[in-house]
Amino acid sequence: MKFAEITGWGKCVPPAIMTNNDLATFLETSDEWIRSRTGIEERRVSAVGTSTMAAVAARNALAAADLDPLEIDLIIVGTCTADEIIPNVASKVQQEIGAKNAAAFDLNAACSSFFYGMHFATSSIRIGMHKKVLIIGAERLTRILDWTKRESAVLFGDGAGAMVLEASDNEVGLLSSKVSCDADARDVLSLDFGMSFDRYNFDGAMPFNFVGQEIFKRAVKGMSAAVDGVFQETGLSVDDIDVLIPHQANKRLIDFLAKMCKVPEAKTMVNIQKYGNTSSATLPIAYTEALETGMVKPGDKIISAVFGGGLTCGAGLIKW
Ligand code: ACO
């Protein structure tokens, strides 16, 4: 049985920055409220579509892996903000980077999409179905936000991140993972666009509904169960973890997870202050920055935990 070694990583963060103070010029909010409740200081706003950001992140990850795009046999794009419903973002990435030999599909598990992608790509590599997989998390959330709603407009941003997984004999990569869905909580986080475009006389703003405190409670429960499941499966405990790289939705949630996993601040990856919640892109962007800054060292054991609409959750142990 092979392992799925992470051989490449990359990101695309749009250059345009919108600060909390920028938001406060047209919304009844403040830098103090946003920082203290969420940890966010600024976010990026993209002038280009999700697939363009996805392709840039993919190219960077392929360069880091020193891989010819023709060697990639599967592309998975985690996104809930595809440029079009059909065809998918993954086919656009295939075209842009020239990965002609790859199967390509999108996956929507909301903010958990990238992690779900890692979970299934790893299984696929482990059983020999695929050898070199490109996983991307890419979102252009600012395109669909209702900019008159302060409760949601302040939370999100745009960006993309990517990873290359390759079949390997080294016992590294995602060694254990759990994914789940708490469908009783489908309604606590929703974006009801359906298939009816004229229903809302689409002008770019969608009815984003969420119940923040309920999500918080359910996310904590779901991620704790997933982390416990990983510890049970691997026989490891919190004392064995070197680095925590979680979904970046709220700094208070990240602090809670760090406490639960007994990971000190210096070993907890936090970049929500720069980008806000970029949904499926938070995890690969966070991995890329943790690697670029040397926060993760060879041999480190990393724990990741995610949650998103559905309510989807997941956690995994990655050996670097
Ligand atoms: N600026 C100023 N005041 C605000 C803002 C804002 N941007 N947004 C809401 N408020 C006000 C509310 O109107 C409310 O006022 P009231 O007490 O007079 O009614 C007050 O602040 C408190 O609002 P709450 O929604 O109770 O604030 P809370 O402390 O729960 O924080 C938050 C909200 C940050 C969303 C939090 O619940 C949270 O992080 N939840 C989990 C993550 C989440 O929901 N993320 C978004 C969904 S996507 C995902 O993460 C997968």
CATH number of the domain encompassing residue 242? 3.40.47.10
Give me the active site residues, please: 111, 247, 277
Q: Indicate whether 165 and 178 sit together in one domain.
A: no
**What separation in angstroms does the CA of 216 have from each of 11, 67, 223?**
27, 40, 11
249: Cβ below 6 Å to ligand 1? yes
| Total tally of structural domains belonging to the chain | 2
Give pLDDT, residue 190: 86
Look up the domain containing 266 and give its range: 174-319
The per-residue pLDDT for range 192-238, each reduced to its tens digit, is 765 555 544 556 666 678 888 899 999 888 888 888 899 999 999 88
CB of 112 closer than 6 A to ligand 1? no
- ipTM comes to 0.93
> For all residues of the chain together, what is the average pLDDT?
93
Statement: residue 259 has pLDDT above 60: yes
Q: Using CA atoms, how far apart are residues 111 and 49, in angstroms rounded to an integer?
A: 18
User: Which pLDDT belongs to residue 117?
Assistant: 98
- Cβ atoms of 53 and 14 closer than 8 Å: yes
pTM of the model: 0.95
- Distance, CA of 297 to CA of 291 (rounded, Å): 8
Between the CA of 109 and the centroid of ligand 1 the distance, in Å, is 22
d(CA 212, ligand 1 centre) in Å? 6
Residue after which a domain boundary falls, among 151, 170, 189? 170
Please, what is the end-to-end C-alpha distance for the chain in angstroms? 18
Decide: 32 in ligand 1 pocket, CB within 6 A.
no
The pLDDT value given to residue 176: 96
What would the mean pLDDT of 44-48 be, rounded to a whole number? Answer: 97
Q: Is the CB of 2 under 6 A from ligand 1?
A: no
pLDDT of residue 193: 67
Q: What is the pLDDT of residue 196?
A: 52
The last residue of one of the domains, among 131, 150, 170, is 170
The pLDDT assigned to 201 comes to 53
- Cα-to-centroid distance, 267 and ligand 1 (Å): 27
Residue 284 and residue 31: Cα distance in Å, rounded? 27
End position of a domain, from candidates 125, 145, 170: 170
Give the percent of the chain with pLDDT over 90.
78
